[in-house]
Structure 1
């Protein structure tokens, strides 16, 4: 297990390749070179991969993993839920095993990045589920997060393998997500990169900042501070709000493009969700 150190060289996205594959390689190399103490297979652990004190707390919390209740609830919903036409959710998105590992992906038919939770929401909408019964960030969120947790568990141990098809719109979506990662925003004038790249592994108040690799592998995550399961889009929304700006809506094009960028960076990392975080 590595230990926290400060990066001594800043990564300037403007000086690095515009090709997604080449950019991702340079992005990862920044961390491999600046944080040699962190092993490749530790990045998907977040701060627990390099902070010994945090890892000790993590082991204590995992004696009775709170994720298990959500997985069980999600499986029950997944197995029993019926759309108005009597079909299961799998009729829209496919079987549970390995499903989460297929997301996010770029759909060349509609030119959009698809996110697992949004596809479940759209499955309900397109099947005629009443608006007040459709899952979303506010109503039915607990059920959505539970199903997402179950589906994540069904891809546990699989490898992130996000593709960017030969479509200029897919490259544009990646670059839009990259732009969001490096763009400063809000009254605090922070970017994702400020915390998770340039100050990765350092402490801010009582928290340790995790790195720019491994951000997507464990989601959804159970957060002890919130006492509930949190989806990735919910976390991105919260991060943006914490910079004291008005966030984009959850599952917006902007957040899906950012997820696409982060997941592509995570290629080669092992899915380990639903994970546990403070």
Structure 2
């Protein structure tokens, strides 16, 4: 069963060394096949637990993570994000409404007017620039803090990305292609680590599953000693594969986030998070 689901997930024959270009799969069928694949791979893990990333695979690692989360190192940044948000509150309310707890769960989405995926961080800067404010840098700093504040406010809400047009479906498939395509000098893909080998160790790190990847960002990484955004992590992963990363909030990374967020539909938002 695992082998059958894996073939369905990839859309290529076993042993193929290239990702499919211009794939045109049905998003909901693809999502359900991924869920079924992980159920077959790890039948004792409940679907709702995938929001916790790689810590679901190790009792010891999970215990260490839960201990850190009792007094998480990102709380000061969440408070700083609230201050930044309130400093420009009138601007943000024109863009996002008057309830900061009702923002994060609506991103990413596909904008039918521009025919592009809009992520939360991209929307924050669009909002700022339209109001004549200086945009934030996308990988860390004030952007990560404001994003963390909005994520913290939305904790417990469910990921609910909608694909109800051909444009949205095309964006999903473009993100899917990036996820599946081998790249860099090592010839690795996102799927190689986070689908086939999730739960295994890469050096001292547990490889996290694709399900739930977007639920807990931005994250405070021990390696960074600060908050970082999802697109910062994308760039780091590509560098690890010895590939040239795309720019943060590029169309490629926004499509990748759209794909991953859709695949994590129905999981709880629990950002910001702590990661090793």
TM-score of the two chains, using structure 1 as the length reference: 0.89
Deviation beyond 4 Å, 4+ runs, structure 1: 7-10
Residue-by-residue CA offset, 1:212-249 (whole Å, 9 max, x unaligned): 10101101111111111111111111111211111111
Which range moved further: 48-57 or 187-196?
A: 48-57
- Where do residues 267-278 of structure 1 align in structure 2 (5 Å cutoff)? 267-278=265-276
Match of 2:102 in 1: 98
Give the number of the structure whose residues are more often helix, by fraction.
2
Q: Is the 8 A contact 2:24 2:173 kept in 1?
A: no
Q: Is the 8 A contact 1:10 1:198 kept in 2?
A: no
SS of 2:156's equivalent in the other structure is coil
Q: Paired residue for 1:203? A: 201
How far 1:17 moved relative to its partner?
Answer: 8.2
From the superposition, tell whether residues 9 and 207 of structure 1 become closer, same or farther in structure 2 (CA, over 3 Å).
farther
Aligned-pair Cα RMSD in Å: 1.7
Q: From 6, 9, 33, give the equivalent of 1:11.
A: 6
13-22 or 261-270, larger mean C-alpha shift: 13-22
SS of the equivalent of 2:227 reads: strand
The answer for the alignment partner of 2:124 in structure 1 is 120
Which position in structure 1 is the counterpart of 2:19?
none
Alignment of 1:248 onto 2:246: yes
1:21-170 matches, cutoff 5 A: 21-81=28-88, 87-94=90-97, 95-129=99-133, 133-137=134-138, 141-165=140-164, 167-170=165-168
TM-score for both structures, normalised by structure 2? 0.90
In structure 1, stretches of 5+ residues that fail to align are 1-6
Contact kept, 8 Å, 2:176 with 2:259, in 1: the verdict is yes
Give the superposition deviation at 1:137.
Answer: 3.1
Report the Cα offset of residue 44 of structure 1.
0.5
Q: Aligned partners of 1:266 and 1:250: how far apart in 2?
A: 21
Deviation sequence 1:81-106 (CA, Å, 0-9, x none): 26xxxx42221233311200000000
Question: 1:181 maps to what in 2?
Answer: 179
Structure 2 stretches lacking a partner, 5+ long: 13-22
